[in-house]
Amino acid sequence: MGALRIALTVIFIIVCIALTVSVLMQEGKSAGLGSISGAAESYWGKVKGRSMEGMLAKITRVLAIVFILLAIVLNLNVF
């Protein structure tokens, strides 16, 4: 069981680094002065789910769920 704990710890560290990178790559939610004139409702604002920003948000969500699950499993002290 020691090898399984080591493998899970290594995966946990990789997920931590990937989660940090994906959060840092995202843009801020504030649109600045563009939101006053309605520039946030442009074409790119409407299709954010298929853009790079939308993909980063999905990746961040998945990595956060894996992070929480691995943290719980590693703290069970079953191994």
Q: How many domains does the chain have?
A: 1
pTM, whole model, 2 decimals? 0.73
Structural domain contains residue 25: no
Give dist(CA 46, CA 54) in Å, integer. Answer: 11
| Residue 60: domain span | 1-18+42-79
Answer yes or no: is pLDDT of 13 > 90. Answer: yes
78 occurs within a structural domain: yes
* Inside any domain, residue 72: yes
Asked whether residue 27 is domain-assigned, the answer is: no
Q: What is the pLDDT of residue 27?
A: 82
Question: 18-74, pLDDT tens digit by residue?
Answer: 999 999 999 877 655 555 555 555 555 555 667 888 899 999 999 999 999 999 999
Place of tokens 């493998």: 7
CA-closest candidate to residue 26, choices 54, 50, 48: 54
| Residue bearing the bigger pLDDT, 38 or 3 | 3
Asked if 66 and 12 count as a contact pair (C-beta separation under 8 A), the reply is no
* 16 touches 53 (CB < 8 A): no
Asked whether residue 5 is domain-assigned, the answer is yes
